[in-house]
């Protein structure tokens, strides 16, 4: 399996640089004084790269967790030093403790990170740190520092991040192999880069209302994860090495920064983290926390232990029980028990939280279960308008359109799904199918021709960015 993944990155790198001649060079992305790639170019590069990630990594599709992380990003990014606020979140379905950033505003979070962070401000500290790497343009500095190996450095950085998101061991293998020979030191940020990111990240934490002390606290926690896991080093520590001096430095800096008067984890964090724990319960060790009844409740519902789940539900405080995100799990519990209360709770959630993304995603599932395909398609179309980069939504829309025998809807949704996963050839093939079905529909033929040109342009995007 790892050999296949290594081959994948080699192939990806080859595709990126196929059009580079003997004298061709990557554009420098170091500073405005050295023919820098402008932010829009970096953004396009990041979008081209993240399409490959979606196509090959195991993505974590949990609307509650996604909503929570997006909300946390929306709290941190505006008060960070990041100039370009266009961000793309990637959630990886892995128990490995890792987070990463990539040029163009890509923020990646492994599910395992949410278990390692036992407090909300600790999770926020990692995200603030990654935002700081982007705001300081540390990837650009790495690229500029290796003039003679330009074609390999950025490809190694992106390829290593890609493979690390799929398989930690495979990512390390690539970093140690031929393609990563010059990039192995690039993936691990320099001490100066890390110091810059620590300081900028701590300022972001304070500006967002968190304690700067969360960062050294999280560093200490990550070291503990390493110590208790034996030889397995968390991927985050490989690319962001943490030393006792660094922990001491950030701890001292935090003492001189403003502290919030009152701190408590948000209900949203507690629920999102508990959902991750339940999801990873078969592959990761149980981690202690202050919200054990909540964790136990979600695990009981997952195991369909209905009597135990009901007992645990009654133990939860009213704040948790009133959360729409936890009531979605309550619906699962009640449905398994075949109670009329489940139907009433669904109606109440839809009525009270019509714009909540997690509730809308659940509504789609409920409508499909009831055979109300047209209504499900309507909700999905609204969702893809608001979340056009969510490949799972496009996949669901294609499937639901198929249930309606809506061939136009199938073609359009599948094209978008394939594009978001970097499957350009499959997108073009789908457009060929759409052209055959639209021979007597001028408006559809016009859409096919226009989208075909756009797909071809996207397929060439990576090559053009590096020329």
Q: Delimit the domains of the chain by residue range.
A: 2-255, 266-364, 371-467
Per DSSP, the three-state class of 106 is strand
The residues near 394 (Cβ < 8 Å, ≥ 6 apart) are: 384, 413, 414, 416, 417, 420
Q: Say how many residues make up the chain.
A: 467
Residue with tokens 């009270």: 352
The CA distance from 220 to 199, in Å, is 17
CATH architecture of 371-467: Alpha Horseshoe (1.25)
Residue 459's contacts (CB-CB under 8 Å, 6 or more residues apart) are 424
In whole angstroms, give the CA distance from residue 195 to residue 123.
19
Please give the Cα distance from 139 to 153 (Å, whole number).
10
Whole-number Å distance between alpha carbons of 412 and 443: 13
| Residue 61 tokens, joined | 């599709």
Structure tokens at 5: 């993944």
CB 210 within 8 A of CB 260: yes
Distance in angstroms (rounded) separating the CA atoms of residues 357 and 64: 8
How far apart, in whole angstroms, are the C-alpha atoms of residue 138 and residue 127?
15
Say if residues 342 and 335 touch (Cβ distance below 8 Å).
yes
List of the chain residues with pLDDT < 50? 1-36, 147-153, 168-187, 283-290
Burial of 222 (0-12, 13-18, 19+ CB in 10 A): buried
**Per-residue confidence (pLDDT) for residue 295, from 0 to 100:** 92
Whole-number pLDDT of residue 232: 64
Neighbours of 228 (CB within 10 A): 9
* pLDDT value of position 156: 54
Q: Is residue 194 within 8 Å of 246, Cβ to Cβ?
A: yes
Q: Alpha-carbon distance 450 to 62, whole Å?
A: 33
- In order of 135, 183, 237, 421, 459, the CA distances from 188 in angstroms are 17, 9, 9, 27, 30
Note the pLDDT of residue 457: 92
CB 174 within 8 A of CB 185: no
Q: Is the dihedral of CA 293, 295, 300, 306 positive or negative?
A: positive
3-class DSSP string for 153-200: HHHHHHHHHHHHHHCHHHHHHHHHCCCCCCCHHHHCCCHHHHHHHHHH
Nearest residue to 78 (alpha-carbon basis) of 131, 125, 130 = 131
Q: Are 218 and 117 in contact (CB under 8 A)?
A: yes
Q: Are 268 and 247 in contact (CB under 8 A)?
A: no
CA angle 255, 129, 77 (to 5 degrees): 105
Q: What is the distance between the alpha carbons of residues 343 and 348, in angstroms, rounded to a whole number?
A: 9
Q: Is the pTM of this model over 0.95?
A: no
Structure tokens at 253: 């800096």
Q: At what angle do helices 324-336 and 357-369 cross, to 10 degrees?
A: 20
125, 106 Cβ separation under 8 angstroms:
no
């Amino acid at each position: 399996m790892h050999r296949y993944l290594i081959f994948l990155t080699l192939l990806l790198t080859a595709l990126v640089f196929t059009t580079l001649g003997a004298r061709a060079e990557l554009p420098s992305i170091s500073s405005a004084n050295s023919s820098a790639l402008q932010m829009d170019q970096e953004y396009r590069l990041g979008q081209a790269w993240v399409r490959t990630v979606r196509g090959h990594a195991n993505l974590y599709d949990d609307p509650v967790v996604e909503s929570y992380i997006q909300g946390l990003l929306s709290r941190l990014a505006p008060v960070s030093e990041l100039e370009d606020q266009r961000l793309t979140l990637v959630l990886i379905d892995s128990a490995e403790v890792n987070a990463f950033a990539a040029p163009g505003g890509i923020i990646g979070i492994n599910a395992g990170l949410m278990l390692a962070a036992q407090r909300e401000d600790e999770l926020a500290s990692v995200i603030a740190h990654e935002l700081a790497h982007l705001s300081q343009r540390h990837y650009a500095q790495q690229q500029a520092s290796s003039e003679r190996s330009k074609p390999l450095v950025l490809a190694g950085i992106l390829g290593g991040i890609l493979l690390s998101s799929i398989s930690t061991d495979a990512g390390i293998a690539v970093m140690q192999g031929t393609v990563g020979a010059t990039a192995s030191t690039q993936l691990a940020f320099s001490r100066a880069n890390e110091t810059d990111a620590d300081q900028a990240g701590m300022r972001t934490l304070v500006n967002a209302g968190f304690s700067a002390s969360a960062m050294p606290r999280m560093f200490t926690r990550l070291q503990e994860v390493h110590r208790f896991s034996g030889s397995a080093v968390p991927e985050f520590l490989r690319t962001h090495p943490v030393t006792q001096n660094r922990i001491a430095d950030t701890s001292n800096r935090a003492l001189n920064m403003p502290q919030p008067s009152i701190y408590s984890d948000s209900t949203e964090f507690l629920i999102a983290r508990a959902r991750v724990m339940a999801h990873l319960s078969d592959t990761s060790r149980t981690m202690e926390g202050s919200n054990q009844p909540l964790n136990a409740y979600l695990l009981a519902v997952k195991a369909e232990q209905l009597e135990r789940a009901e007992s645990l539900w009654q133990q939860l405080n009213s704040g948790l029980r009133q959360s729409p995100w936890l009531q979605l799990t309550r619906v699962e519990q009640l449905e398994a028990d075949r109670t009329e209360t489940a139907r009433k709770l669904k109606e109440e959630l839809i009525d009270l939280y019509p714009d909540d993304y997690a509730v809308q995603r659940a509504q789609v599932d409920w409508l499909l279960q009831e055979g109300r395909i047209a209504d499900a398609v309507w909700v999905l179309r609204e969702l893809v308008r608001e979340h056009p980069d969510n490949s799972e939504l496009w996949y669901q829309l294609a499937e639901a359109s198929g249930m309606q025998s809506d061939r136009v809807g199938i073609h359009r949704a599948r094209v978008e799904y394939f594009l978001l996963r970097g499957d350009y050839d499959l997108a073009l093939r789908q457009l060929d199918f759409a052209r055959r079905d639209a021979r007597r529909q001028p408006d559809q033929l016009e859409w096919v021709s226009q989208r075909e040109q756009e797909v071809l342009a996207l397929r060439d995007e990576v090559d053009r960015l590096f020329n």
